[in-house]
Structure 1
């Protein structure tokens, strides 16, 4: 096996291990990423101070940090790509050098990297695999594809309607949804707002206003942490939440007689107070709840 083939295998193993670890938590901590074992002993996966992590044992960049609140001009670029700024270099030094050089090498070698999207101090969501597809030294930035399939769009800057819809769906699934989930679960202390279940693999971040709506933004006040059964019940209008933060169960469902899941999982949730975060800025938006509750009452 060539060195490059072995490195690619290691990167694939890393991403599989990160996905497994992330499935059981709302986000990954800096401590976890500073010493992470994915089959070759514990390795550091994040730089102590820089956004680009270039381990000596690897031919190219392994991970990058993206901070939506940071000073760099990083973010969505068109409908299919993500722009990532060069690391700042001292005056007089080639801006293409330093840590930027090995990120450029990842592009030349077509090696997948991991984007660690910062969602809170010391907390990150892994976005992977990510590919560097273009170097724009005139803008001091790289362009990244957030999924392997997006690398092969013939002209990422000029998409057809079908290509744009596909790209938007992929970017939403790859980055915006995991980031939204991490922020909502963190606000709700990783427990279902209806039943207070704390099993993270069974928790979803549910939108109050659907993300297809104009006000369906991926922000915490438009989210609820719900276990999978209550998320499904919410989407099917079996369960509703009024703007005074009270849980309601569809009257027809209340009248049914079935097994313990119906009785304890749904019927006994009726008139239960919703568990919400303490900070006012993180509480569910009452206007969004009111609009959604009107749909629930109409369906009932």
Structure 2
């Protein structure tokens, strides 16, 4: 029989610190993901305390009145997510209640963590049964009328560090932090995983040189951090794509090198082989479920052409 758990504020905080330290040392995939089953093995003071609930999205360990973690499940391409956690007008992330009852025990568990200013772990679904952990995060607001909590993705987003968020500049600052801490890491790992860490234009596989590029930039309303809006590109071709030197035809995925670059006769090897040689080549595509969206490619294609 497992020893009885003595729950008090100090114990709760110590458990969270230990859980996050354990998670930091946990073996992960090359994309930084953890398998769901790995999260069942955490123990604290001889008591097994899985970090994720097998069924529910909010994890409140037995005997505790506070939640320890929450998760957003992976949604395959073309499917509708069961919950849509979104950015608020203040640039801060929201996390939806479980169900529509603010007094559901799981919602109360998150609310108690909020009231006690306790850090939590957020597991972001990266693939089936794989998650990208982000921690520590904090709940800094409760919006029962909208059935959601307000999330601070970093210390700098906590109210004592931001003050009231009232101006457009403040909102943009908070949105940048949210995207940097939550959206971009998941986008990056999912895109690179889909393309097997190889450049979609040249096939280079040096992982330290491969980046996740947006098709529609994340500064645009439709610049969603989804695999269909991303490409794995080496640093050279990421820069060439962003600057319009290389376009991708949205119908046949053929690469088009800008004419002035294509006819340059300086004969620099990188120019000849790294840029000019790509003209007319076809994009190296991932599994069909992860193909870049043709409407997104069309938006970028027309943008570069100035239409």
Q: Compute the TM-score of the two structures, normalised by the length of structure 2.
A: 0.71
1:77 aligns with 2:88: yes
8 Å CA contact retained: 1:133, 1:142: yes
Question: Which stretch shows the higher mean deviation, 267-276 or 165-174?
Answer: 267-276
Structure 1 residue 115 and structure 2 residue 114: aligned? no
| Residue 234 of structure 1, CA deviation | 3.0
For residues 93-135 of structure 1, what are the alpha-carbon distances to aligned partners after superposition, in whole Å with 9 as ceiling and x for unaligned? x953533343223223322212122344323333333211233
Q: Which runs of 5+ in 1 are unaligned?
A: 296-300
Whole-Å Cα distance in 2 between the matches of residues 118 and 216 of structure 1? Answer: 19
Question: Could you tell me which residue of structure 1 aligns to residue 31 of structure 2?
Answer: 25
Aligned with 1:46 (options 52, 55, 60):
52
Aligned residues: 282
1:148-227 matches, cutoff 5 A: 148-152=155-159, 153-156=162-165, 159-198=166-205, 202-227=209-234
CA RMSD of aligned residues (A): 4.0
Tell me how far apart the structure 1 counterparts of residues 196 and 207 of structure 2 sit (CA, whole Å): 10
Residue of structure 2 aligned with 1:255, choices 263, 267, 270:
267
Q: Which residue of 2 aligns with 1:146?
A: 153
- Tell me the distance in 2 between the aligned counterparts of 1:222 and 1:160: 30
Q: Which runs of 4+ in 1 moved over 6 A?
A: 40-43
Cα distance change on mapping 1:61 and 1:227 into 2, 3 Å? farther
Give the structure 2 partner of residue 287 of structure 1: 298
Under a length normalisation based on structure 1, what TM-score does the superposition of the two structures give? 0.72
Q: 1:15 to 1:107 in 2, by over 3 A?
A: farther
Corresponding residue number in structure 1 for 2:68 = 62
Rate the CA distance shift 1:54–1:95 in 2: closer, same or farther, 3 A.
same
Gapped regions of structure 2 (runs ≥ 5):
1-9
